[in-house]
Amino acid sequence: MDDVTTDEFLAGVIEGFYGPPWSESERHEVLDWMRQWGLNTYFYGPKDDLHHRIFWRTPYSDADAAVIGGLIHECQQQGVRFVYALGPGLDVRYNDAADREALRLRFTQLRELGCQDFCLLFDDIPDRMHPGEIERWGSLASAQCALTNEMSAWLRARQPRSRFLFCPTPYCGRMEAAGLGGEGYLETVGRELSQDVDVFWTGPEIISSEITVGHIDGLAAKLRRKPVIWDNLHANDYDGRRFYCGPYSGRSAELKGRVKGILTNPNTEMPLDFMALRTLAAFVHAPGPWDARAAYLAALKEWLPEFETVHRPMVFADLVLLADCYYLPHEEGPEARQLFHDIAELLARDPADWGAEAALVRAQVVRLREICARMAELKCRPLFHALSRRVWDLREEMDLLDRYIGFALDSENRGRTFHSDFHLTQTYRGGLVRRLQDLLVQATDGSIRPGPSAANRGGPARA
């Protein structure tokens, strides 16, 4: 296995999500975490920095350049590699000398700010070119490789120790299987992209629950090099109602020897990223087999002091339950899974047959509701602000369940319909997006079909 403690193995964070870029103070805190935990790379490429994709030809203003320059300087002070990414793929003209000069000018501006390492991203773009470019290059992959090779060679002529990275248009297994980028895209990259350029990959999926050694070995054969993992395991920019604080998991320790680095693109809300970075760092430095759950519990104990409230400290067992509710995209943590199972089993039975079990389930529901409510009392206000809307949704569901179970337990309510004065139609679970979600239902196998709401949609909404 490669020595992942060296600077050659990239281990760290990607600020590469859709949504508001992190603030200067948030980046400072991330770098402080990285220094403590032995992470060595900060990759800068937030999609909604307008100069990253939309205005990539336009230099940064003096004020914006000063902010990035300050980040570069702080990375250097902390011993962290700073990688600057540019995403010109939405409208770059591969045959245009002016566009190539614009790339050089942007890289020059960043070099003058102290940046050593760079990346060109061609992700999340249309896989097409202008007719003249097709005649010149023959394929999108060839055009992108030629442009990347030119920029990489130009940079290394000025900074021989620089590292250059490349993100392909099909950057996961599903995209490749669908033919995104054209036939043989990855094989072309393997043949034509300079061997000293590293290639990003997210795994079988954009958000991969598992990345196996076999999957990476097959990819490396096509790319003719080990990839760098761009890991979206903790990313939440595709669903603002959720966040993820589960462990770095679904990747075996052997994976570290098959890749040139692992960078995590985590939650958009930086205060929620303690667990993603802490457990990645533990994974990178783990000397033997990886126990994700043990690492999760250890990291939660380190995070626990941030959950002190104005009245009393958070109990560790309560934090475990809360965090298990926001575990990972493809799964809840075991305590949340058990709670869901117990609630579902109870509701599937006639209330007349609930017995003492109902009181036990209701106690757990109330416990979780109160844990959510206590988040408003957090002394760490940035953490509260990041949690508030998401945890509020969970609190409302627990409150509704508590009220329903209490109603159904009263024998005098048998045969009566339950209503909640605190969960009113069209304000609770309301809005157009929610109504649209009810029209098409997705089954566990991924298939999608019209739901009951489509057949009973009624007339147009009234003012």
DSSP state string for 207-271 = S-S---HHHHHHHHHHHTS--EEEE-TT--TT-TT------S-S--GGGGGGSSEEEE---SSGG
| The residue type at 288 | G
Cα–Cα distance, 341 to 355 (Å, whole number): 17
Q: H or E segment at 146? A: helix 140-158
Residue 439 tokens read as 């029209």
Strand 10-15 with 41-44, pairing: parallel
CB 236 within 8 A of CB 271: no
CB 275 within 8 A of CB 306: no
Residue 377 tokens read as 């009392």
Cα–Cα distance, 231 to 58 (Å, whole number): 29
Give the length of the chain.
Answer: 463
Ramachandran angles phi, psi of 400, nearest 5°? -65, -45
CB 243 within 8 A of CB 272: yes
CB 204 within 8 A of CB 173: yes
CB 244 within 8 A of CB 328: yes
Residue 170 tokens read as 């099909």
Cα–Cα distance, 246 to 297 (Å, whole number): 9
Give the list of residues 6+ apart from residue 160 with CB closer than 8 angstroms, or none: none
Cα–Cα distance, 301 to 316 (Å, whole number): 7
In 10 A of CB 386, how many CB atoms? 19
| The residue type at 451 | G
Closest CA relative to residue 250, chosen from 311, 281, 288, 207: 207
Active-site residue, from 2, 48, 99, 124 = 124
Is 124 an active-site residue? Answer: yes
Residue 13 tokens read as 């964070």
DSSP state string for 95-124 = T-HHHHHHHHHHHHHHHHTT--EEEEE--S
Q: Is 332 buried (19+), middle (13-18) or exposed (0-12) by CB count in 10 A?
A: middle
Instruction: Classify residue 417 by its DSSP letter.
Output: P
User: Which segments of 128-213 are extended strands (E)?
Assistant: 164-167, 197-201
Query: Which residues are the active-site residues?
Result: 124
